[in-house]
Amino acid sequence: NSLSKAEDTATDSVEAAKNAGDKKEKLADQVMQNPQVLAALQERLDNTAVTPSSYIETLPKAVKRRIDALKQLQVKCAHIEAKFYEEVHDLERKYAALYQPLFDKRREFINGEVEPTDAESEWHSENEEEEKLAGDLKNVVVLEEKAEAEETNLKGIPDFWFTIFRNVDMLSELVQEYDEPILKHLQDIKVKFSEPGQPMSFSLEFHFGPNDYFSNSVLTKTYKMKSEPDKTDPFSFEGPEIVDCEGCTIDWKKGKNVTVKTIKKKQKHKGRGTVRTITKQVPNDSFFNFFNPIKVSGDGESLDEDSEFTLAADFEIGHFFRERIVPRAVLYFTGEAIEDDDNFEEGEEGEEEELEGEEEGEEEDDAESDPKV
């Protein structure tokens, strides 16, 4: 009897399980017929696309081992690339010596030390035909300019470097009104590369004529560079990077330091209750803070976000002086290089917009051809 009871119980359990299963299947059928549920499932499937990392995880151990070997080869490539950039730096130094006589002549013309010959000043502009049509008017203007030059006894190209500072947004943002009369004394900017065998670096030299502001004839800023992959992240290596910079001490004449300002502050004595006015010097915005940069901490301490941003902007300006302004100074003076830079940036933005447009178009086409929508 006990055996038959057990059999009956087992049969009942099977039947109950079967009925529950049937109910679940029916419920599942009803749910799957719901278009909202189907859409939600489809969305989840779309979002769980196979990523490279998830694909790598599915690979057998032996294949992963071979990928690790490829990564080791890649690190070796990065170290060879670092040596390549060291040789590029040597090449830059070699060619800097070839450019220098031309830059020296440029300085002489700018500062009125030497007058260019007719052959040296001959230049055929793109708008020559238009200029010929306006020849008579131009002659009148030239005569007026000559008379004016004789009257004022102009030498060289006045405010050459100051005009470049004014034209280039990246620099004009740093220049305060009280910096301007000082920058009018700037006569030359030079780039100097580190000597062979020395740690990789470059220096910017700002040469000033005698002025009422400081006694230095040259202000320097040195950018220290590194051309080696980071031990913790060797794959991020993309060539030499600036890792630190060093300024110089400006010997300001009395009362002429534009990097500080004097403020008056009222101070109350705790005991006597008397009030006195004290003067205090506080930092002031100025281009000349460029020569007193934030130091990168050598003890591994990380800088705060504002300092990181300031340092990154400083490095960008250093690169811009070295790679663009010093080699192409006259084109930044006339504004031609700025127009070229703007056109290049606009071209890049245009390409990005076009790509975005194509992607949107593709999505629309897909939507139209999809019968579920």
CA 113, CA 242: separation in Å to the nearest integer? 36
Q: What is the rounded average pLDDT of the residues 195-223?
A: 95
Q: What is the pLDDT of residue 345?
A: 61
Residue 29 has pLDDT above 80, yes or no: no
CA 203, CA 191: separation in Å to the nearest integer? 6
pTM confidence score: 0.70
Q: What is the rounded average pLDDT of the residues 282-288?
A: 93
* Residue 371: pLDDT band with limits 50, 70, 90: very low
Q: Mean pLDDT across the chain, nearest whole number?
A: 81
Residue 320 has pLDDT above 80, yes or no: yes
Q: What is the pLDDT of residue 11?
A: 58
Q: What is the rounded average pLDDT of the residues 4-23?
A: 58
CA 203, CA 208: separation in Å to the nearest integer? 16
Residue 368 has pLDDT above 60, yes or no: no
Q: What is the pLDDT of residue 175?
A: 96
Residue 243 has pLDDT above 80, yes or no: yes
Q: What is the pLDDT of residue 31?
A: 59
pLDDT digits (tens, 9 = 90+) for 326-340: 999 999 999 998 877
User: Could you tell me which of 301, 320, 13 has the C-alpha nearest to residue 171?
Assistant: 320
pLDDT digits (tens, 9 = 90+) for 60-98: 899 989 999 999 999 999 999 999 998 999 999 999 999
Record the tokens describing residue 174, joined without a space.
């740093």
* Residue 373: pLDDT band with limits 50, 70, 90: very low
Q: What is the pLDDT of residue 307?
A: 81
CB 269 within 8 A of CB 284: no
> Lowest mean pLDDT: which of 64-68, 241-245, 310-314, 342-346?
342-346
CA 309, CA 315: separation in Å to the nearest integer? 10
Q: What is the rounded average pLDDT of the residues 6-19?
A: 58
Q: What is the pLDDT of residue 177?
A: 96
User: Could you tell me which of 189, 241, 245 has the C-alpha nearest to residue 222?
Assistant: 245
> Could you write out the three-class secondary structure of the chain?
CHHHHHHHHHHHHHHHHHHHHHHHHHHHHHHHCCHHHHHHHHHHHHHCCCCHHHHHHHCCHHHHHHHHHHHHHHHHHHHHHHHHHHHHHHHHHHHHHHHHHHHHHHHHHHCCCCCCCCCCCCCCCCCHHHHHHCHHHHHHHHHHHHHHHHHHCCCCCCCHHHHHHHHCHHHHCCCCHHHHHHHCCEEEEEEEECCCCCCCEEEEEEEECCCCCECCCEEEEEEEEECCCCCCCHHHCCCCEEEEEECCCCCECCCCCCCEEEEEEEEECCCCCCEEEEEEEEECCCHHHHHCCCCCCCCCCCCCHHHHHHHHHHHHHHHHHHHHHCCCHHHHHHCHHHHHHHHHHHHHHHHHHHHHHHHHHHHHHHHHHCCCC
* Residue 358: pLDDT band with limits 50, 70, 90: low
* Residue 249: pLDDT band with limits 50, 70, 90: very high
Q: What is the pLDDT of residue 27?
A: 62
Superfamily of domain 81-115+156-231+238-341: Nucleosome assembly protein (3.30.1120.90)
* Residue 349: pLDDT band with limits 50, 70, 90: low
CA 240, CA 222: separation in Å to the nearest integer? 15
**Which residues of the chain does CATH 3.30.1120.90 include?**
81-115+156-231+238-341
User: Could you tell me which of 247, 200, 217 has the C-alpha nearest to residue 83?
Assistant: 200
Q: What is the pLDDT of residue 45?
A: 60
* Residue 363: pLDDT band with limits 50, 70, 90: very low
* Residue 3: pLDDT band with limits 50, 70, 90: very low
CA 66, CA 174: separation in Å to the nearest integer? 52
Residue 196's alpha-carbon distances to 91, 94, 200, 220, 229, in angstroms, are 11, 10, 9, 20, 21
User: Could you tell me which of 346, 324, 290, 340 has the C-alpha nearest to residue 164?
Assistant: 324
pLDDT digits (tens, 9 = 90+) for 88-138: 999 999 999 999 999 999 999 999 999 999 999 998 877 666 656 655 566
